[in-house]
Amino acid sequence: MEESSKTLGEFIIENQKAFQYSSGELSRIINSIRLAAKVVSYKVNKAGLVDITGAAGETNIQGEDQQKLDVYANEIFIQTLKNREIVCGIASEENDEFITVEGKDKGHKNKYVVLMDPLDGSSNIDVNVSVGTVFSVYRRITPVGTPVTLEDFLQPGTMQVAAGYVIYGTSTMLVYTTGHGVNGFTLNPAIGTFYLSHPDMKFSKDGNIYSINEGNYIQFPQGVKDYIKYCQSEEGDRPYTSRYIGSLVSDIHRNMIKGGIYIYPTSSKAPKGKLRLLYECNPMAFIAEQAGGKASDGFGRIMEIKPKELHERVPFFCGSYNMVAKAEEFMLKASK
């Protein structure tokens, strides 16, 4: 079978034995995310035709205005995972606290927890710009059969068993890793099936795109300012091209295909950074490393950070390995 005709379901079955804990639950989690992604994709693609754009009138735990599609996507992913009884806990960027999931027998027999940003970049919906879903899967560390605790979610990214994202753009793609490379699947909307379209995705070691909101330049730390000037200088293969969508999934996806670096640093307005470690940075870091890239907080590996709280924020540098390493050099030099 040619890879372009291989479905996501077939790929999961073929690679089941490569999972660290091959008992079926992880495959079913990916299948559940596939199902929820199709439902959300359908809603996103007709958002301009129905009353599902704009603000929902509430704020989330981050103090950010919730969009109607934020709320919808959050409900769809949570209900899909809960209904299939394959996880023991769920944490979402849109929820204040984690959700404990019991089985029909009121037990807590499942082994995995899922953390997610159900609709990243949702403020772009109103202007028809690509948005996405980001997810991360961990094996619980508390005893099976007991309710999950905060400890199960506050694990470093190195403990992830799977991570991925769905991008809702000109086509809908699901990209994920279980620690054995990164593969991308594109949805054929006519028949509702994801097909393997981007096998063994890789970041190039070097790139020529830098993605950062330069409008906040004056608020950035000196190391970031110096790196931006480096990107703009006319030396070697520079200046690099500046490309910033403002949707994490879209920016990372483009840079993985084209070669580049994404930066969301600390600033005078966001001294801890803005992106969430557990819902955005860790899963993207896992994907980047599996694709030969690098992910950092500017000084060290993102996935080695021990989370202290559910909605912790960190600065984020992610992309082509040599570009992130060069940015770290500028950060270190400026900190001395």
Read off the pLDDT of residues 76-122 as tens digits, 9 standing for 90 and up. Answer: 999 999 988 889 999 999 999 999 998 766 667 899 999 999 999 87
Residue 128 vs residue 62, higher pLDDT: 128
User: Any known ligand binding at 250?
Assistant: no
Angle of CA points 277, 283, 243, to nearest 5°: 85
Question: What is the predicted pLDDT for the residue at 49?
Answer: 46
Question: What is the predicted pLDDT for the residue at 2?
Answer: 45
Determine the average pLDDT of the residues in 156-169.
Answer: 96
Helix residue ranges per DSSP H, the chain:
8-14, 25-45, 68-83, 150-153, 222-232, 248-258, 282-290, 321-335
User: Any known ligand binding at 120?
Assistant: yes
Domain 209-335 is of which CATH architecture? 3-Layer(aba) Sandwich (3.40)
Between helices 25-45 and 68-83, what is the axis angle to 10°?
A: 150
Question: What is the predicted pLDDT for the residue at 329?
Answer: 98
Question: What is the predicted pLDDT for the residue at 106?
Answer: 61
Domain 3-198 is of which CATH architecture? 2-Layer Sandwich (3.30)
| Average pLDDT in the chain | 90
User: Any known ligand binding at 69?
Assistant: no
User: Any known ligand binding at 82?
Assistant: no
User: pLDDT category, 50, cuts 50, 70, 90?
Assistant: very low
Residue 290 vs residue 60, higher pLDDT: 290
Question: What is the predicted pLDDT for the residue at 1?
Answer: 39
User: Any known ligand binding at 51?
Assistant: no
What residue spans define the domains of the chain? 3-198, 209-335
User: Any known ligand binding at 260?
Assistant: no
Residue 126 vs residue 69, higher pLDDT: 69
User: Any known ligand binding at 117?
Assistant: yes
User: pLDDT category, 45, cuts 50, 70, 90?
Assistant: confident
User: Any known ligand binding at 43?
Assistant: no
Checking if the pLDDT of 46 tops 90, the result is no
User: Any known ligand binding at 122?
Assistant: yes
User: Any known ligand binding at 244?
Assistant: yes
Give the dihedral of Cα atoms 74, 78, 79, 82; nearest 10 deg: 180
Question: What is the predicted pLDDT for the residue at 188?
Answer: 95
Checking if the pLDDT of 125 tops 80, the result is no
> Percent of the chain having pLDDT more than 90?
76
User: pLDDT category, 13, cuts 50, 70, 90?
Assistant: confident
Question: What is the predicted pLDDT for the residue at 246?
Answer: 92
Question: What is the predicted pLDDT for the residue at 21?
Answer: 56
User: Any known ligand binding at 111?
Assistant: no
For the chain, the first-to-last Cα distance in angstroms comes to 56
Running DSSP on this structure, what letter comes out for residue 313? B
Question: What is the predicted pLDDT for the residue at 105?
Answer: 64
Determine the average pLDDT of the residues in 51-64.
Answer: 52
Within the chain, strands assigned E span 55-59, 65-67, 89-92, 99-100, 112-120, 131-139, 160-168, 172-177, 182-188, 193-198, 209-211, 241-242, 260-264, 294-296, 316-319
Checking if the pLDDT of 64 tops 70, the result is no
The pTM assigned to this predicted structure is: 0.93
